[in-house]
Amino acid sequence: MHRRPRILVPLALAGVLLTATACGESGSSGTGGGSGGGGSASGEACVPVAGDQLVVLEDDQQLQNADNIVPAVNAATAQASPALLPALDAVSAALTTEDLIELNAAVDVDRQSAEEVATAWVEESGVTDGLEQGSGAIAVGGANFTESTVLANIYANVLTAAGFDASVREVGNRELYLPALISGSEIQVFPEYLSTATEFLNRQVNGADAEPVASGDAQATATALQPLAEQNGLLFGEPSEAADQNAFAVTQEFADGLGVSTLSELADACGDGSLVLGGPAECPDRPFCQPGLEDTYGLTFGEFRELDAGGPLTKAALQQGEISIGLVFSSDGALAQG
């Protein structure tokens, strides 16, 4: 599966290592205040349980920064084309994380093309109904991984329905596409990730040591992003409910056995240190990974297994019952319901 690259670094370094939004140090790991494991289940109940279907436990205390999908637009283009941003906001109003999972699975698992998957979603969602009409050529940028390509085609299809002559142009990483978006010379629209874009622009405006302003609160992060965007000649639309960010998964069988759907509930059920955590080598030292789970939720772990960052090793270890909980990404096609 082709995904946007993930590496475990501080979000404050997003201006240098531009594709990072994983278990990075984007602030302190906190000082507790989580559910604190009550340990209502026995250790035997909390050991790994094999199963094919993976489910994400809700991050109900917002440990992770909110990387919701949000349209980024060249400000001059948006001002000249008043129908542009409302059309993209219509996508945000309809797009969910479950949609992202299904869209990624359709391409990466079912081997459909990104273009046909995007077209089908636009037709089924009804987002083009009643759109304000505009005109003119608009190039939508998309990075060279599945999710970005699908989103770029969704944006282009909706803009075409709104009267624009929209096309999709594949671009490289943020170092390459953001200057093009700011200038409006090659692309005018891009499907961005809220916290990643916020911290990148924060460093652009306030310097390499800028205090991070992104958080797990999507609306607060969007508010912090607005002045940073304006200073760079950009406008951002409304963030969608859909997010592609760090998440922690268990098997459906494990969740059903304990009756848990959130990380807080897991901490209440499994406070005796019997859980086995799987993830990348950096996880035990990164505030958005093991220390964050311990400090924010009061989770305790009997063992850590070094695997990968949301990749095939972690997912296989979950399915085979080798780990209780593992780091995944919230929009991974592997989370699609069978």
Q: Hey, what are 160's tokens?
A: 């075409």
Question: Model confidence at 41, in pLDDT bands (50, 70, 90)?
Answer: low
Domains of the chain, residue spans:
11-64+245-335, 69-236
The predicted structure's pLDDT at residue 1? 41
**May I ask the CATH architecture of the domain 11-64+245-335?**
3-Layer(aba) Sandwich (3.40)
pLDDT above 90 for 9: no
d(CA 292, CA 17): 22
pLDDT above 90 for 271: no
- Which helix (H) or strand (E) is 93 found in, with range? helix 84-94
Question: Model confidence at 44, in pLDDT bands (50, 70, 90)?
Answer: confident
Cβ atoms within 10 A of the Cβ of 287, count? 21
pLDDT above 90 for 284: yes
d(CA 255, CA 278): 16
pLDDT digits 0-9 by tens, 176-212 = 899 999 999 999 999 999 999 999 999 999 999 999 9
Average pLDDT over the chain reads: 89
d(CA 41, CA 256): 13
pLDDT above 80 for 229: yes
- Taking residues 162-168, what's their average pLDDT? 98
Closest CA to 324 of 253, 261, 262: 253
Chain center to CA of 85: 21
Chain center to CA of 230: 23
CA distances from 9 to 3, 196, 282 (A): 17, 12, 9
pLDDT above 90 for 2: no
The predicted structure's pLDDT at residue 35? 39
The predicted structure's pLDDT at residue 174? 87
Q: What is the dotted CATH code of the domain comprising 69-236? A: 3.10.105.10
Question: Model confidence at 43, in pLDDT bands (50, 70, 90)?
Answer: low
- Taking residues 80-107, what's their average pLDDT? 98
Closest CA to 309 of 284, 281, 276, 280: 280
Strand duo 275-279 + 301-306: pairing: parallel
- Taking residues 120-130, what's their average pLDDT? 97
pLDDT digits 0-9 by tens, 298-309 = 999 999 999 999
Question: Model confidence at 26, in pLDDT bands (50, 70, 90)?
Answer: very low
pLDDT above 60 for 22: no
Q: DSSP string spanning 270-290?
A: --SS-EEEEE-TTGGG-TTSH
The predicted structure's pLDDT at residue 173? 86
Closest CA to 34 of 291, 326, 278, 212: 291
- Per the CB < 8 A criterion, the answer to whether 28 and 172 are in contact is no
pLDDT above 90 for 40: no
3-state secondary structure of 204: helix
Q: Hey, what are 80's tokens?
A: 């000249």
